[in-house]
Structure 1
Amino acid sequence: MILFLIKSGICLAALLLFYHLVLRKENMFSFNRYFLLGSMVFSLLVPVLTFPSFFPSIDGSGQKVLVEFQKVFLENDIQYPNEESRVLDPKVVKPMEKSSSVDWYWILGLVYMLGVLFFLMRFIFQIMGLAKLIRNGSVVDKEKYKLVQVSQETLPFTFLNYLFVNEITYLRSGIEPAILKHELTHIREKHSLDILFVEVLKIIFWFNPLFLLYKKAIQLNHEFLADRAVIAGSLEVFQYQKLLISKVLGEEFVYNLSSPINYSVTKNRLIMMRKHTSKRKSLFLKVGLIPVLTLLLGAFSQSAANQEKTFSLTHFFVKDFETYISEALSEKSDFVLELEKLDILGAKAVYLMLTEEEKSRYTEFPILEDEALSELLKLQKAKDSIKVRINFSSPPEKMSISEEVWDNWLKSKNLEVILDEKEEDASILLNYSPEDFALFEVRGVEKKKFLKPEKFRLTLTTHDHFQDKFITSRKKINTISAAYPNGDIAEIPYYMRYVLMNSNGELEEYYPENYLQRALEAILTHEFENSPSTKVIYDVRKSFLIHVTRNGQKEMVAISYN
């Protein structure tokens, strides 16, 4: 919705700017009337229309992305700390606290509805005010309009087919023929309908000041149209200008929904009365509008390219990157992202605008390469048959230390201590209690020898360090998994790496070409459904492995490159 508002807002601003710079100063009033009305309709329709691509899409493939290589094992997830090295009572799992967040979308929705209600009520009061004038005034049916004589001091003004005049002034001197013709032009050409149309849009889009500018431009153009009708009736321009000036010098009541003759920019009306635009120039300006509309259509319609490549600037103003991620997280875990909830293109657009330093702090973005991203989008569209999850490396479960074990550590003479990843003297334990730590690990570092006891290394992690390292730190993607209706589950490591020996006998890292694209493609097509599990040596340069769970059994299936 916000993207729609941004696109339509840009179109509204561009067309209004074109009107003020090019069309407003020309004697093309009838065309300008429909241009202004059409501009609003055009701007609201363009973001939802679908056309073939007019322009190349914005491509992020040229962006250089800093990728952190990390080792991924094909076995089950690495456990931390090592099960065999624990010297403690059974662990006590402490549930992770979910961070609460304010529902800003609900708040914005409430503010929007309050704004709509306020402006709707104001509009209703204005209509009721006109109805009251008609009810309390003296209404005289004329041939093509209804004359309403009111007690208020006011210059003549119109609304729909009603012409409002001051009763005393009308009975004393009537209405000058030029003024009457001016007002009847408003009635005949139904200018009030234009104003009502803009008022409705102002209620719906009350937060957008552009509609107020459109209303002012339309009202002024109405005056140009009515002035032209008066002058076309053979009245001398100078005489009409004198009459108009004499009327606007007063400070009478002006009604918001009418087109009053004392409009604040009367100077422009006086100038435009003598303005002449040739047919050739008029045609040239109308033709010049075509490339402007074509440009806006190509840039902001839902063309094929725009569906695949979203305009990054608009997404930048929608929300920040972490908001995209948090909105897609599973309700069961802050370390599992549900693909069907993720605005992939919006998140990518914002991510590419981050600095390298920001990227190193923010959640890792799943897949930037265009080919792989295309497969991810296809998987998202297939959400009814494939449930895809992006799994971040989750924190280890917190543990507890028994008093007995703690006392043994305090008494030990052969203990090295690593506290929050820093080497410390064992005496530092006297400053702590067992409840101060979230994790621990004990490893033997020196075997027992003659007259020399075995030496151990104790690694401890405080709750604060645990929070910084595992909870508030940057989330890194571990695997991408997919679940199918038949119960199959497929899981691929996000990064795939092998260590191979080259022709010189040296070991080097090898990353399978287009690995993510090919792996996601296999997940999309359920390619491994009937494939046998891997039990033989395979060529890592021509295939790779996917974890597959079938009938409750975990297997490894080789996927070959085409």
Structure 2
Amino acid sequence: MEYLLKSVLCLLLLLLFHRLVLQQELLYRFNRFFLLAAILGSFLIPLVTLEVEEKVSPEFMRSEIFPPEYSFSETLPSEDADFDSFNRIEASPEPARIPWQKIAWSIYLLGFVVCLIRFIRNIRLIHDQVRRNFRVMYRGETVVLLSESTAPFSFLSYIFYHKEGFEKDGIPEAIFLHEQCHVHEKHSWDILLVEVLLVVLWFHPGLYLARQAIRLNHEFIADQQVIKQFPVRDYQFLLISILSGQHGYALGSRLNFPLTKKRFSMMKKTSKPGIQVLKLASLVGFLGIVVALFAEKVAVSAPAEQSAEVQFSDESKSISIHITADGELLLNGNPINREQLVRELSNVNGEKTIVHLTADPKLKMGELADIQELLRENEVRRVKYEQTEGQKETSSSESARERHFRDAIILIESVDMEYTQKRYTELSEKEKTGLLFTDKPVEKKSPDAATYEAWKNKDEFALWIDGKSVNNTVLAKYQPGDFDWYFQSGVKANARSARFPQPFQVNLYSPKHYEESFGPNSEMFRPRTNRDTITLTQRNVTWMKDISRFPDPITAFLQKNARYEKLKASPDANKPEVKEEIQRLFEELEDAYAKTPDNRKKMLKKPIAPSKGSTGKTVAALPQNKSAYWNLYSKYETRVNRNRLFEKFSQEEMSQLEKEYRLLDKTFASLSLEDKMQVKKPSFPFARLTKEGKVIYKKMEDLTEEEKKSMAC
């Protein structure tokens, strides 16, 4: 449904540009192909994917760091994290529902059948006229002589004209040239394309407008051919005399009154080349805007959303933190304020510290979130949420939890990066702890005046409002009470970037965005369906998607590394084809690991090179200078583009070409920054796929949508 809506709006925008900008110029043949391209483009543009930076989500940030039993998640805190008792949910009979989907499909099928019958009827009417009436060859064209009085029209290679008028005076020269132009330019095929689309998409308003615009443009083209040989005024009088009291056929290119006024005005139109160039240039920018508006946006995982695989030692320190109903803190049973807690946490190793966190049932959700954030800032990732005696789960809360997840598909990741599908009822108690759930909304909180004023310091705080990065000066336009929720976090020195060098990040939520993110109708409270996939990983990360098929970069690396290790340990490791695959995987892993920033390498497993006996290969030294790189690059590009349009590479040639690309890519990575700016980065224009156990290569532009998804394109 979203695709169709985008397609309709896209075509309407393109037609609006044609009407306001292009139709007024003498660019008739260009306009013809623009209109046809607009129709096809409106169906293709919504399929284009654009990569955009994924919004910072506090629910992901919080649950990524603070799940129970060391698990990470993209959802907001669980029922354990809330620490409030769940209200009993009484089952109520489900009201009768109107089958809107069936009604909609019935209406669509009815419209489809009516339009199909209409289309077939129009084709048959013209076919019958050709078959039943007398045909003559007139100046190289086939003219069908009709007994009834009708306006001249053409369809495909036929010109239709009134028999009585033809026998008396023949066909006026201007009219003949007009209809001959329709035949030679094959205008009927344009109309047939739109009519076929209207049978399937009879509800599409843009197609009706496009059909009208195409027909009008056809008349402009034919008129332009005529007035090159005839005076404009004489031709106009001839048209008016022929049109009086006559009718035509739906699919034919014909003369008719509704288009006459526009045609007469365009016959006298003149156009300046400079204006035409400007309008064509504006078309390029407009197409870019249309693509940006209607293309599919694909979120690119930000570094903060990539989870780390943390190795814990057996020597762990355990501390206990309890939060009272008034927000007071007890550290190992002793009262402590937040400043003291920060100092205590800064003195411990976050990766080797286990925090047992408990809270009073009456504690506000925002207070708990603040303590969780303190733990996250100090990299304390091992947090166990424990209950007091008054917080034991009731049967009603477990029932609500089960209703929330019972229809979802849940994947369990193994240490070998293999995935097992389960339902909620099949999960173990430990696995269930990775599914964070709450039925209580996040408590609203607005910043105090002092905190709000401090955020105006652009050197200390990076600022987001409703998920969009903004300049700190924007805060002057608002008051603290204009925001229903905020989230402040610290940024470690090695995690800062040139764009956001500040030590702190602040996310502010307007009332509307708060409701969309945390309100009762928000995504976090939506019961999961069989279209939702949740992945519980062995790396203590919970993803609200199928990462076996659509992995993040870290998971993709680990999956490839698992396959690499499995092949090395397999009994077939010494077979030539397996050796080659092992070497290829190692080179890809080594290359990916080398390109990974140092602060993320701890998330990965460094690939271990295969023994020389496994592959029989040693790594050659890479050339380190620019001229040597250009030499390799030129040879590689020559091979890639060798008869690319007319000749297909063999599998052996493709394998060798891929090896050359990897060598060239490594050479590029070894160049200095100054040299990199003066050369071109290599690219491999083929995708490597495995089908039925065989490796095949395809051009990127030839990939199907399913193949693109499997490659996370």
Provide the TM-score with structure 1 as the length reference: 0.52
Aligned to 1:47: 46
> C-alpha separation between the residues in 2 aligned to 1:37 and 1:189?
14
Decide whether the 8 Å contact of 2:26 with 2:271 is kept in 1. yes
Decide whether the 8 Å contact of 1:140 with 1:148 is kept in 2. yes
Displacement of 1:195 after TM fit? 0.5
Aligned to 1:270: 264
Could you say if the C-alpha distance between residues 141 and 480 of structure 1 is closer, same or farther in structure 2, counting changes exceeding 3 Å?
Answer: closer
Decide whether the 8 Å contact of 1:481 with 1:491 is kept in 2. no
1:545-560 correspondence runs (5 A): none
SS of aligned partner of 2:249? coil
Displacement of 1:104 after TM fit? 2.6
Select the residue among 158, 166, 176 that pairs with 1:170: 166
Select the residue among 432, 440, 457 that pairs with 1:491: 432
Aligned to 2:198: 202
Displacement of 1:109 after TM fit? 2.2
Letter in 2 for 1:128: R
Letter in 1 for 2:242: K
> C-alpha separation between the residues in 1 aligned to 2:104 and 2:174?
50
Decide whether the 8 Å contact of 1:482 with 1:491 is kept in 2. no
Letter in 2 for 1:72: D
Larger CA Rg, structure 1 vs 2? 1
Aligned to 2:678: none
SS of aligned partner of 2:8? helix
Displacement of 1:151 after TM fit? 0.8
Aligned to 1:255: 249
> C-alpha separation between the residues in 2 aligned to 1:197 and 1:495?
52
Decide whether the 8 Å contact of 2:153 with 2:253 is kept in 1. yes
Displacement of 1:485 after TM fit? 3.3
Decide whether the 8 Å contact of 1:393 with 1:476 is kept in 2. no
Unpaired runs of 5+ residues, structure 2, are 60-74, 303-392, 413-418, 441-488, 491-523, 525-532, 542-602, 604-713
Displacement of 1:8 after TM fit? 0.6
Unpaired runs of 5+ residues, structure 1, are 82-93, 309-391, 398-469, 498-511, 530-561
Letter in 2 for 1:34: F
Could you say if the C-alpha distance between residues 528 and 287 of structure 1 is closer, same or farther in structure 2, counting changes exceeding 3 Å?
Answer: closer
SS of aligned partner of 2:279? helix
What are the superposed Cα offsets for residues 129-152 of structure 1, whole Å, 9 maximum, x if unpaired? 111111221011345421101111
Letter in 1 for 2:247: F
The answer to whether 1:121 aligns with 2:111 is: no
SS of aligned partner of 1:485? strand
Displacement of 1:230 after TM fit? 0.4
> C-alpha separation between the residues in 2 aligned to 1:129 and 1:200?
17
More helix by share: 2
Letter in 1 for 2:154: T
Decide whether the 8 Å contact of 2:410 with 2:534 is kept in 1. no
Select the residue among 170, 180, 184 that pairs with 1:184: 180
Decide whether the 8 Å contact of 1:47 with 1:302 is kept in 2. yes
Aligned to 1:302: 296
Displacement of 1:263 after TM fit? 3.9
The answer to whether 1:9 aligns with 2:5 is: no
> C-alpha separation between the residues in 2 aligned to 1:30 and 1:286?
13
Q: Which deviates more from structure 2 when the two are superposed, residues 478-487 or residues 102-111?
A: 478-487
Letter in 1 for 2:276: S
Decide whether the 8 Å contact of 1:136 with 1:150 is kept in 2. no
SS of aligned partner of 2:11? helix
Decide whether the 8 Å contact of 2:10 with 2:290 is kept in 1. yes
Decide whether the 8 Å contact of 1:28 with 1:277 is kept in 2. no
SS of aligned partner of 2:254? coil
SS of aligned partner of 1:257? coil
State the number of aligned residues.
Answer: 333
SS of aligned partner of 2:161? strand
Aligned to 1:237: 232
SS of aligned partner of 1:9? helix
Could you say if the C-alpha distance between residues 287 and 79 of structure 1 is closer, same or farther in structure 2, counting changes exceeding 3 Å?
Answer: closer
> C-alpha separation between the residues in 1 aligned to 2:76 and 2:540?
29
The answer to whether 1:246 aligns with 2:241 is: yes
Aligned to 1:223: 219
Could you say if the C-alpha distance between residues 302 and 180 of structure 1 is closer, same or farther in structure 2, counting changes exceeding 3 Å?
Answer: same
What are the superposed Cα offsets for residues 362-403 of structure 1, whole Å, 9 maximum, x if unpaired? xxxxxxxxxxxxxxxxxxxxxxxxxxxxxx998599xxxxxx
Decide whether the 8 Å contact of 2:79 with 2:436 is kept in 1. no
Aligned-residue Cα RMSD (Å) equals 4.4
SS of aligned partner of 2:258? coil
Displacement of 1:103 after TM fit? 3.7
SS of aligned partner of 1:253? coil
Could you say if the C-alpha distance between residues 209 and 58 of structure 1 is closer, same or farther in structure 2, counting changes exceeding 3 Å?
Answer: farther
SS of aligned partner of 2:144? strand
> C-alpha separation between the residues in 1 aligned to 2:161 and 2:216?
21
Decide whether the 8 Å contact of 1:220 with 1:263 is kept in 2. no
> C-alpha separation between the residues in 2 aligned to 1:111 and 1:137?
39
Could you say if the C-alpha distance between residues 123 and 393 of structure 1 is closer, same or farther in structure 2, counting changes exceeding 3 Å?
Answer: farther
1:110-509 correspondence runs (5 A): 110-142=106-138, 144-233=140-229, 235-248=230-243, 250-305=244-299, 485=420, 489=428, 490-492=431-433, 494=436
Could you say if the C-alpha distance between residues 393 and 284 of structure 1 is closer, same or farther in structure 2, counting changes exceeding 3 Å?
Answer: farther
> C-alpha separation between the residues in 1 aligned to 2:167 and 2:211?
33
Could you say if the C-alpha distance between residues 251 and 72 of structure 1 is closer, same or farther in structure 2, counting changes exceeding 3 Å?
Answer: same
> C-alpha separation between the residues in 1 aligned to 2:258 and 2:299?
46
Aligned to 2:554: none
> C-alpha separation between the residues in 2 aligned to 1:71 and 1:182?
76
Letter in 2 for 1:236: P
Letter in 1 for 2:80: V
> C-alpha separation between the residues in 2 aligned to 1:495 and 1:168?
83
SS of aligned partner of 1:164? strand
Identity over aligned residues, as a percent?
32
The answer to whether 1:72 aligns with 2:80 is: yes
> C-alpha separation between the residues in 2 aligned to 1:118 and 1:41?
24
Displacement of 1:97 after TM fit? 4.9
Could you say if the C-alpha distance between residues 276 and 61 of structure 1 is closer, same or farther in structure 2, counting changes exceeding 3 Å?
Answer: farther
> C-alpha separation between the residues in 2 aligned to 1:119 and 1:218?
20
Displacement of 1:251 after TM fit? 1.8
Decide whether the 8 Å contact of 2:182 with 2:188 is kept in 1. yes
SS of aligned partner of 2:135? strand
Could you say if the C-alpha distance between residues 256 and 190 of structure 1 is closer, same or farther in structure 2, counting changes exceeding 3 Å?
Answer: same
Could you say if the C-alpha distance between residues 28 and 172 of structure 1 is closer, same or farther in structure 2, counting changes exceeding 3 Å?
Answer: same
1:16-95 correspondence runs (5 A): 16-50=15-49, 52-53=50-51, 59=55, 61=57, 72=80
Displacement of 1:220 after TM fit? 0.8
SS of aligned partner of 2:432? strand
Displacement of 1:488 after TM fit? 5.7
1:526-541 correspondence runs (5 A): 526-527=538-539
Decide whether the 8 Å contact of 1:146 with 1:161 is kept in 2. yes
Decide whether the 8 Å contact of 2:77 with 2:436 is kept in 1. no
> C-alpha separation between the residues in 1 aligned to 2:301 and 2:249?
46
Could you say if the C-alpha distance between residues 196 and 58 of structure 1 is closer, same or farther in structure 2, counting changes exceeding 3 Å?
Answer: farther
SS of aligned partner of 1:282? helix
Displacement of 1:59 after TM fit? 4.4
Decide whether the 8 Å contact of 2:76 with 2:436 is kept in 1. no
